[in-house]
Amino acid sequence: MNELSVVSGKLQILSIIGDPIVQVSAPLMINAALHRESIPDVLMVPLHVDPTGLENVLNGLKAIQNFRGAIITMPHKQQTLSFLNSASETATAVGGCNVIRRDNKGMLYGDMLDGEGFAWSLLDRGINIEGSKVYLAGTGGAGSAIAHAIAERKPSELTIYNRTPEKSIALINKLSVLFPQIKIKAGTSVPKRVNIAINATSLGMGGNTDLPFSVEKLGPRTLVCDIVIFPEKTRLLTLAEQKKLPIHTGRAMLSAQIKLMLNFMLRPEN
């Protein structure tokens, strides 16, 4: 696609908002999808916004009448929720959002699609969550959303780990009320035999080589997942491959979310 061909007075703007932003691949993927689906006069551009400027930027977007919506990425998923006019039940329950849209009255509405995107990316590979033992590291916006989506799909057990134990316990308490039939417990940084092990933290992003959890005691067929998109193959996934374990990348999760995000941001009632 020649982006210059869509830049006119009719242009409708989508964005991705994060800090840092240089590593994001969503604009390339979204713009390719817009071209593939023959959606005219729409373009996604990245916005590099630090936390101190987030409120001003979101308030400014309310006044931009050809702004349609944005993906919200790290570290803004939780903070953004407090600056919106309204949000979905999922975003409210999770305490964060990763996508917003502007209606024709200038109101911003948010949703959290990280969990659904991740779950669908597994299902697209034929990986069944129901009845599986799942380990999850991370209780931030993405981690909480993924925990909700996993619990909804009836795993036999869900283990949640955070370096700050109080955060794990708080999320477990919330989930236990919503999903009393699911066994949900706190874990450590050394998960043992599970079917699926997930990194939902930012560890491993960019030049960071810290590990969110150890792969040393995982079972021989544990699927190791990472939501980090850049680099696509994090140190965690590299170590998993060295142990001959199957892996699932953050790019797979993002790909599964693209259609969900476009449908959300470009809904006709906007």
| 3-112 and 115-253, same CATH topology | yes
pLDDT in tens, the chain (270 residues): 566 677 899 999 999 999 999 988 889 999 999 999 999 999 999 999 999 999 999 999 999 999 999 999 989 999 999 999 999 999 998 899 999 999 999 999 999 999 999 999 999 999 999 999 999 999 988 899 999 999 999 999 999 999 999 999 999 999 999 999 999 999 999 999 999 999 999 999 988 999 999 999 999 999 999 999 889 999 999 999 999 999 999 999 988 999 899 999 998 764
* Fold of the domain built from segment(s) 115-253: Rossmann fold (3.40.50)
DSSP 84: S
Separation of CA 90 from chain center: 13
How far, in Å, CA of 225 to CA of 197, rounded?
6
**Under a CB-based contact definition with an 8 Å cutoff, are residues 111 and 105 in contact?**
no
How far, in Å, CA of 231 to CA of 24, rounded?
10
pLDDT at residue 180, as a whole number: 97
Phi, psi of 142 (to 5 degrees): -65, -45
Q: For residue 144, what are the CA distances in angstroms to 36, 95, 107, 207?
A: 32, 8, 25, 25
pTM of the complete model: 0.86
The domain segmentation of the chain, as residue ranges, is 3-112, 115-253
Instruction: Give the model confidence (pLDDT) of 205-242 as tens digits.
Output: 988 999 999 999 999 999 999 999 889 999 999 999 99
pLDDT at residue 3, as a whole number: 63
Domain 3-112 has CATH 3.40.50.10860: yes
Q: For residue 254, what are the CA distances in angstroms to 32, 43, 116, 247, 260?
A: 14, 18, 11, 15, 10
pLDDT at residue 269, as a whole number: 60
pLDDT at residue 268, as a whole number: 75
pLDDT at residue 270, as a whole number: 45
